[in-house]
Structure 1
């Protein structure tokens, strides 16, 4: 799922990456939802990087919250695989 949130999203996405633009010129990834090991995350991250380049936003950060700690090894592996 990729949306600029200009209108309501209908249906059930296979995967979603929720991010926000900040006033400091960066993109912060707030959450990623979906089944692991299907490639959806890589597709979303690649597209997010393209958006960042187009918008001249040199920084992408990732919010880490308590619910992420039960799968931190998978998250670290994913972020390294996507060059973070």
Structure 2
């Protein structure tokens, strides 16, 4: 999965907490949020806060999926 595909998928599934993200999809999205947040904080703290709020739901998705695994253990094993 490429960087751009990952970002598109994460925002397309903005508040969809069903299913699981692939490892590469998750880490590409984490990298994207870190880079954009750093750049936004250089420009304006308000812009950085707005970006953080905009990406709050997609950022919460992987931890929420771990809590909903059938066995109740992170990783689903």
- Same fold, judged at TM 0.5 (above): no
Kindly indicate which of the two structures has a greater share of residues assigned to helix.
Answer: 2
The structure with the larger Rg is 2
**TM-score when normalising by structure 2:** 0.39
Kindly indicate which of the two structures has a greater share of residues assigned to strand.
Answer: 1
**TM-score when normalising by structure 1:** 0.36
Q: Answer 1 or 2: higher relative contact order, Cα 8 Å, separation at least 6.
A: 2
